Structures are given as C-alpha cells and as structure tokens.
Amino acid sequence: METHRGVSPMNLPPTVTPRAFERLSEIGAASDGKVLRVAVEGGGCSGFQYEITLDEPKEDDLIIEGVGEKVVVDSVSLPFLANAVIDFTEELIGARFVISNPNATSSCGCGTSFSM
C-alpha cells in the first residue's frame, strides 16, 4: 500500500508499481539511505527528458512510499508527472525503470524523452 507525504489536493501524484518498489528493495536502496528520484528536465530529442537516479531526499520532494522504499519527485517536475505510472521492466534491451506518462503527447523510441 502506497502512502504519499507532501501532496496538495490539487496535485495528482504519480503512482509507483509494486514491481518498481520490489526492485528498489532488491538493490537495497533504503538500506543505503537512498531513494529513487524521478525528475523532468528540458532536453532530449522530444523536448523534455526523464532523469531517474538513486539520490537522497530533499525538503521539497513529494515522497511516495511502499514496502520500506521511497520514490521522490521534486516540486518542479511534479506537474509534468501528474497521473504518471513509474514501473520497472525487464526486456531484451535491458532492465530499467520506465514511466508511462498520460501528459506526454509524443515520446522517443527509447522512452527517455517526451513532448507535451
């Protein structure tokens, strides 16, 4: 069960799948004091790009918690990720965290950049 801290009623926070939380647990993120940070930055081939890193939480982060692990989104990136789903997938091209974003009007083939 997910809980959200720091969510205002006007924001629709992203959802993190159980599989993504399980992967964070497998790699020992919380035991190392780390969280999965999902951010949106300008750039990439489509206008915006996702930055997904292991990091430490910051004061203005939205924190999404599950099974003792945390995913954080900074306040600037949050509007770009409203209603998005953060997942973990294992495919032939490799294992990675992926974002399904209903706000994106188009995205690149590798799924790391998008436009709105």
**Per-residue pLDDT tens for 44-87?**
666 788 899 999 999 999 999 999 999 999 999 999 999 999 99
| Strand ranges for the chain from DSSP E | 3-5, 15-16, 35-43, 47-55, 62-66, 69-73, 85-91, 94-100, 106-107, 113-115
Residue spans per domain, the chain: 12-105
User: Which is higher by pLDDT, 25 or 93?
Assistant: 25
pLDDT at position 109 over 80 = no
Helix (H) or strand (E) holding 42: strand 35-43
The fourth-level CATH superfamily of domain 12-105 is HesB-like domain (2.60.300.12)
**Per-residue pLDDT tens for 1-48?**
455 555 444 458 999 999 999 999 999 999 999 999 999 988 766 678
